[in-house]
A and B are shown apart, each in its own frame.
Chain A
Amino acid sequence: MDMIANLTLGFGVALSLQNLALCFAGCFIGTLIGVLPGVGPIATIAILLPITFGVDPVGALIMLAGIYYGAQYGGSTTAILVNIPGEATSVVTTLDGHQMAKQGRAGVALGIAALGSFFAGCVATLFIAALGAPLTKLALLFGPAEYFSLMVMGLCFAVVLARGSILKAFCMIMLGLLLSTVGTDLETGQERLTFGFPPLSDGIDFAVLAMGVFGFAEVLRNLENPEARDVVKAKIGRLLPDWSEIKQSINPVLRGTFIGGILGILPGNGAVLGPFASYTLEKKIAKDPSRFGRGAIEGVAGPESANNAGAQTAFIPLLTLGIPPNAVMALMVGAMTIHGIIPGPQVMTKNPELFWGMIASMWIGNLMLVIINLPLVGVWVKLLQVPYRLMFPAILIFCCIGIYSVNNQPVDVAFTAMFGLFGYLLIKLGFEPAPMLLGFVLGKLLEEKMRQALIISRGSFMTFIERPISAGLLIVAVVVLVIALLPSISKKREEVFVE
């Protein structure tokens, strides 16, 4: 019954007028930016980070969560209407969603995506509320060795599940870890890799790195390869699915929610697998699999529910253990830190109103998405026609103001430009920078826990293997890496990501 009491507390916080307004604003602006082609959730959150600065931490987190859902949903909208997936998780939606749109059923595709996502969001919220307390208790049992191994496992998953070459993803993670060591050493106070340059002694600023690599460099990439926008000319049509369509979608939604929710908890970007798994399953059990790829409503309903369920349960490792499972959550960590909150098990015990308020606001946010999106589809379609020549200067001025406002330091803007150049170089070399952000955020924590663990064990590396939980996590990490490197699996992996 704790759960109900906790949720009541949470809704008490989330339903205050200010927080409702922030949740609404977050969802709305998140969708607004996320719907722009070529702007994925990572970029959206990075760009919108500054608008949360003036708000108190609870409100800011609620707003950020809203931005996150909005960005996710905006990505699905572009996937359906323009055939450009905002990020890996909405790739699958383009397959059948865009076909439906071409047949003049864009409205139904968007409607079922919204309704399926809403259902998945409701279930995921309950799931988080139910698992939050026990997992937090578990987290308190974790010592530094377990934390270290858990992070290693998460990074291994992130390598395996990244797009493109495994070796290159590995490079990016290590680069992120390397960048995280820049700055003053926590224990001895010695400066590391700072070139004796004072602004670097606090380490590389998270916002500077994120906006440089995902704001500026992304603009440079898009300027270079203008994406062919295939905005559907056909009518949007009615939004609400009719009875037979609902009947067709109920089971895929249920299955998608389940698959996505479970995979989302995995530390290490499990959420990205949800839509793929759901789509494959629906295609496999369908009576007539040939309909898939030609506008089958199940091919939108299932993956979209899985997408949203996973997007939400990905909060579980972050909120309970303080370990971000993917680049988007790494951004949330950065955002929380800017607001003075260190994510981890202590959040729930020390700031219960923040923890439960955020969970309650997840449900409200999902409801708002349905309310905002269905009537505003027309506006989003108009937005899709904004030419890139106007979009990117707007992105830039937002980023500039944002970076300046983090510390009120003009130098930061120049730093960000430098990281923009660095990010562009990485893109040119065929690296996908998202894992770098994850490595960067986990790096400091990884080092701290490793040092603590080794002090406790008096310098014996065996501690990571002798402690059963830690050993188990490391074994999983090794197994995952080995499996991914087996030739037969890696071929399949390539196929999945090519699709």
Chain B
Amino acid sequence: MSLNPIERAQGLRIRSQQDMAAGLFMVALGVFAFLLSGDLPLGSLRQIGPGMLPKSFAVICAVLGLMLSLASLRFNGEKLTGWAWRGVFLVLGGACLFGLAIRGFDIGPIHVPQLGLLVAGPLVILVSGLAADDMKWKELIIFAIAMTTACALLFKYALSLPIPLAPWLLGI
């Protein structure tokens, strides 16, 4: 979006928060990747080393980020919007719980047995389902049971993938 004369007279300021943040993000990412690949040898053109491409890509990322940030001073654009943390936590948390429950895990003193799909399935549906504003408990519970059954039949039996169902209860 180009500027009208009045706006142009106002000098440089952040005209697109989103692009500014996006640019800084790319710069940070580029710098981070560059530092991380710091000890990898560049090699020569004749024999390119393992560090050559990661470092070049990192530099290009940072330069593009810088360009994006500079452009955000010049062109009007979108504002940054807040994060929907509830959804993020419930949805991604639900997925992580699935990962923990499907085969069991040990972290220090905590020990979770191998719970299998019959527990992990309803868990992910119930937890993530809470993220919807118009959630209804009864509906969600029925849906969780139906979906888990359907997935168990589809993946375990129709497609015969090696997914534990409920080793602690059924032994499979």
Which residues in chain A, 140-188, are within 8 Å of chain B measured between CB atoms? 165, 167-168, 170-171, 174-175, 177-178, 181, 185, 187-188
Does A379 count as interface, using CB distance less than 8 angstroms?
A: no
Among A171, A397, A424, A428, max chain B CB count under 10 A is at A397
Structural contact, B99 and A410, CB atoms closer than 8 A:
yes
Contacts of A410 in B (CB 8 A): 99-100, 102-103, 105
Does A54 count as interface, using CB distance less than 8 angstroms?
A: yes
What is the bound-complex CA distance between A225 and B93, given in angstroms?
20
Structural contact, A223 and B64, CB atoms closer than 8 A:
no
Structural contact, B61 and A175, CB atoms closer than 8 A:
yes
- In terms of DSSP, what is the predominant structure of the interface of chain A? helix
Given that A178-B61, A393-B128, A404-B102 are known contacts, is A171 also in contact with B26, CB under 8 Å in the complex? Answer: yes
Among B100, B129, B136, max chain A CB count under 10 A is at B129
Partner of A455, one of B47, B129, B133: B47
Structural contact, A167 and B44, CB atoms closer than 8 A:
no
Structural contact, B95 and A416, CB atoms closer than 8 A:
yes
Structural contact, A181 and B57, CB atoms closer than 8 A:
yes
Does A287 count as interface, using CB distance less than 8 angstroms?
A: no
What is the bound-complex CA distance between A461 and B132, given in angstroms?
55
Structural contact, B60 and A401, CB atoms closer than 8 A:
no
What is the bound-complex CA distance between A293 and B155, given in angstroms?
44
Structural contact, B22 and A171, CB atoms closer than 8 A:
yes
Structural contact, B84 and A167, CB atoms closer than 8 A:
no
Interface window among A8-16, A33-41, A121-129, A383-391: A383-391
Structural contact, B163 and A401, CB atoms closer than 8 A:
yes
| Total A-B contacts with CB atoms under 8 angstroms apart | 201
Q: Which residue of B lies closest to A389 (CB)?
A: B132
What is the bound-complex CA distance between A398 and B152, given in angstroms?
11
Structural contact, A174 and B60, CB atoms closer than 8 A:
yes
Q: Which residue of B lies closest to A194 (CB)?
A: B36
Structural contact, A400 and B159, CB atoms closer than 8 A:
no
Does B153 count as interface, using CB distance less than 8 angstroms?
A: no
Contact with A along B117-161 (1 / 0, CB 8 A): 100110011001101111110011001100110010011000111
**A455–chain B nearest beta-carbon distance, Å:** 7
Q: Chain B: how many interface residues by the 8 Å CB criterion?
A: 77
Q: Which residue of A lies closest to B148 (CB)?
A: A397
Structural contact, B163 and A389, CB atoms closer than 8 A:
no
Structural contact, B99 and A411, CB atoms closer than 8 A:
yes
Structural contact, B50 and A430, CB atoms closer than 8 A:
no
Structural contact, B21 and A178, CB atoms closer than 8 A:
no
**A417–chain B nearest beta-carbon distance, Å:** 4
Given that A192-B37, A454-B46, A459-B44 are known contacts, is A171 also in contact with B68, CB under 8 Å in the complex? Answer: yes
Among B92, B102, B124, max chain A CB count under 10 A is at B92
Does A220 count as interface, using CB distance less than 8 angstroms?
A: yes
Contacts of B103 in A (CB 8 A): 408, 410
Contacts of B140 in A (CB 8 A): 389-390, 393
Structural contact, B161 and A50, CB atoms closer than 8 A:
yes
Structural contact, A190 and B78, CB atoms closer than 8 A:
no
Contacts of B151 in A (CB 8 A): 397-398, 401
Which residues in chain A, 446-474, are within 8 Å of chain B measured between CB atoms? 447, 450-451, 454-455, 458-461
Does A210 count as interface, using CB distance less than 8 angstroms?
A: no
Contacts of A190 in B (CB 8 A): 40, 50
Contacts of A458 in B (CB 8 A): 46
* 16 extra interface residue pairs, beta carbon distance < 8 Å, beyond A430-B19, A460-B45: A175-B29, A185-B40, A195-B36, A223-B91, A223-B132, A393-B124, A393-B125, A400-B102, A408-B103, A410-B103, A416-B95, A417-B92, A421-B92, A430-B77, A450-B53, A454-B45
Closest 3 CB pairs of A and B: A459-B46, A413-B99, A389-B132
- Which residues of B are interface residues toward A (Cβ below 8 A)? 18-19, 21-22, 25-26, 29, 33, 36-37, 40, 44-51, 53-54, 57-58, 60-61, 64-65, 67-68, 71, 77-78, 80-81, 83-84, 87-88, 91-96, 98-100, 102-103, 105, 117, 120-121, 124-125, 128-129, 131-136, 139-140, 143-144, 147-148, 151, 154-155, 159-163
- Which residues of A are interface residues toward B (Cβ below 8 A)? 50-51, 53-54, 165, 167-168, 170-171, 174-175, 177-178, 181, 185, 187-188, 190, 192-193, 195, 216, 219-220, 223-224, 387-390, 392-394, 396-401, 404-405, 408, 410-414, 416-417, 420-421, 424-425, 428-431, 447, 450-451, 454-455, 458-461
